[in-house]
Amino acid sequence: MRRIELAGFIVFVFLLVPHLSYAGDFVPPGAEPSSGEILTEAAPEQASKEYKPLGSSKGSAYGDIFGRGGGFVHPFLSVTEYFTDNVFYTNSNKRSDFATILSPGIWLTVPHVYEKLLHIETANVSPGGFSLSKPQQETFKRYQLYLFYNADIERFSKFSSENAENHRAEGFFQYNLQSGLSLELIDQFIASHDVRGTGITSQLDKFRSNLSNVTLSYNIGERFKLRVDYSNFLVDYTDRRNDFRDRKDNAFSGYLYYKIRPKTSLFVENEFIDIAYTKNGSFNSDEYHLFGGIQWDITAKSKGSVKAGYGIKNFSNEALKSADDFIMEAQLDYHFTPKTSIILKASRSTNETNIASTDFFLSNVVEVQYLQKITGKITSDVKLAYTNDQYKGALTFRGRTGKLRENYYMGVCALQYKFKEWLQMDLGYIYDKRDSSFAEFDYINNIGFLRITGSL
């Protein structure tokens, strides 16, 4: 297996804190690990296509290991049992099975904070790594350090070929100067596999990826702010059949914000991404994105951002046709009452292909999540998601050649019961459907899960 060299920031912090060497959340039935509660951030590969009932690392996190004012360590452990009626995501000859996932984890903050600070959504198919824009972390402290590590150990009762171990390590560091200059460093390493039921292979496509990001921002007076981002994203797949997907992206972006209200800003964004493939240089390309948008954090009830613009993709291989498309993104978090909230995410973007005979694909995604606190101990969670993928270039499969169009539908219902601040149970159901222009890839999957999580 080829090695991916981790960025120096993560190497440094793990040398600094050597005991943070095993952690985890669970993502049934086999998506990349992520962090969250009943419903969480989208998965790193085709975010909306698979729901992730994860081990929660949030909750009362006590145990000051550095003394008053120092950092806090928050260990957690989840055990999940789930049933699937379609292990291999097929449209015929379905197989059912039970699976168990053990998810130990730990995270640390210095100075101490009682919540996880890094919430980013990544995907191997996303140019530059980010599937949704990275929000700049707001903190009024001079500096903030955050570390997280997790492992998900998944074991099937009958089909051992689906067994998997997923790992994720990430770190965040921010330093704020009184002059208005802010520095932010992020690094995320993932060793996992693609979400089951995507692409055209029935095998687990295992990979390692590493995303490093540096953000510099500077407040110019009371109304203007400048921001510059640089990201480096490495993707390395284990099996030779996926060599065509190994690549390295370098992304540069600049923002200019204009504050129209104390917590509302208009902005323009210009982004350039250099996409370089390791083994398949014919897929090398450059992408140019220009956005205009608005972001707000008006009250405790409403925060979010909306941006829209134009994207151009130019291939270095003249035989591949360049493309230009309307692209957009919206993220909204609205609290109707302290017990009721809704989260909306929508995007339209170009993605790198996961099928060798196609060039790239255009993806449209809509997700709606509704959370309701029923009692002091019980919370309900409902999520609906739809994804439409339109592949550019023809696909030939089993003697048929045509355009590949994919529609994914997902519905989730879950209940969470808190026995104590440090102990909770999640019970839920997942409906997952794929409707493809190639009927061989269609499937319906029903999943039921039960999870117990303890945290300190």
pLDDT for position 104: 97
Between 43 and 223, the more confident residue is 223
> Average pLDDT, whole number, for the chain?
85
Is 2 a residue whose pLDDT tops 80? no
Q: What is the pLDDT of residues 361-406, one digit of tens each?
A: 999 999 999 999 999 999 999 999 999 999 999 999 988 999 999 9
Which of 4, 76, 190 minimizes the C-alpha distance to 423? 76
Between 180 and 255, the more confident residue is 255
Instruction: List the structure tokens of 327.
Output: 């692209």
pLDDT for position 181: 94
pLDDT for position 65: 35
Taking residues 111-140, what's their average pLDDT?
84
Enumerate residues 6+ apart whose C-beta is below 8 A from 271: 128, 251, 252, 253, 254, 287, 288, 289, 290, 291
With cut-offs at 50, 70 and 90, classify the pLDDT of residue 108: very high
Check: CB of residue 143 under 8 Å from CB of residue 64. Answer: no
* Percentage of the chain lying above the pLDDT 90 cut: 70
pLDDT for position 139: 61
Check: CB of residue 256 under 8 Å from CB of residue 270. Answer: no
Is 47 a residue whose pLDDT tops 70? no
Q: From residue 325, how far is each of 155, 310, 330, 363, 400 by CA, in Å?
A: 42, 6, 17, 11, 28
* Lowest mean pLDDT segment, chosen from 192-196, 197-201, 255-259: 197-201
Q: From residue 330, how far is each of 44, 134, 181, 288, 291 by CA, in Å?
A: 18, 12, 27, 19, 12
b/e burial code for range 66-88 (CB count within 10 A of at least 16 → b):
eeeeebbbbbbbbbbebbbebbb
* Lowest mean pLDDT segment, chosen from 34-38, 141-145, 349-353: 34-38
Q: Is 441 helix (H, G, I), strand (E, B) or coil?
A: helix
Cis peptide bond prior to 135, omega within 30° of 0: no
Is 51 a residue whose pLDDT tops 50? no
Is 38 a residue whose pLDDT tops 60? no
Q: Is 270 helix (H, G, I), strand (E, B) or coil?
A: strand
Between 436 and 72, the more confident residue is 436
CB atoms within 10 A of CB 361: 22
Q: DSSP assignment of 93-143, as one string?
A: S---EEEEEEEEEEEEEES--SS------B-TTSTTSBSSPPPPPP--SSE
Calpha distance 258→219 (Å, rounded): 10
Instruction: List the structure tokens of 429.
Output: 């159901």
* Percentage of the chain lying above the pLDDT 70 cut: 83
Is 123 a residue whose pLDDT tops 60? yes
With cut-offs at 50, 70 and 90, classify the pLDDT of residue 4: very low
Locate the DSSP E strands across 262-301.
264-277, 285-296
Check: CB of residue 211 under 8 Å from CB of residue 232. Answer: yes
pLDDT for position 45: 37
Check: CB of residue 293 under 8 Å from CB of residue 307. Answer: yes
Q: What is the pLDDT of residues 319-375, one digit of tens each?
A: 898 999 999 999 999 999 999 999 999 999 999 999 999 999 999 999 999 999 999
Is 20 a residue whose pLDDT tops 80? no
Taking residues 186-190, what's their average pLDDT?
97
Calpha distance 99→33 (Å, rounded): 16
Amino acid at 266: L
Taking residues 287-291, what's their average pLDDT?
98
pLDDT for position 137: 65
Check: CB of residue 35 under 8 Å from CB of residue 52. Answer: no
Is 183 a residue whose pLDDT tops 50? yes
Check: CB of residue 183 under 8 Å from CB of residue 71. Answer: no
Is 35 a residue whose pLDDT tops 50? no
With cut-offs at 50, 70 and 90, classify the pLDDT of residue 18: very low
Instruction: List the structure tokens of 317.
Output: 């291989």
Calpha distance 33→14 (Å, rounded): 19
pLDDT for position 116: 77
Is 39 a residue whose pLDDT tops 80? no
Is 50 a residue whose pLDDT tops 70? no
pLDDT for position 203: 87
Is 141 a residue whose pLDDT tops 90? no
Instruction: List the structure tokens of 388.
Output: 């439409």
pLDDT for position 71: 60
Which of 113, 26, 122, 12 minimizes the C-alpha distance to 70? 113
Q: DSSP assignment of 408-437, as one string?
A: EEEEEEEEEEEEETTEEEEEEEEEEEEEES
pLDDT for position 118: 85
pLDDT for position 138: 66
Calpha distance 37→416 (Å, rounded): 9
For domain 8-455, which architecture applies?
Answer: Beta Barrel (2.40)
Strands 405-420 and 378-392: antiparallel
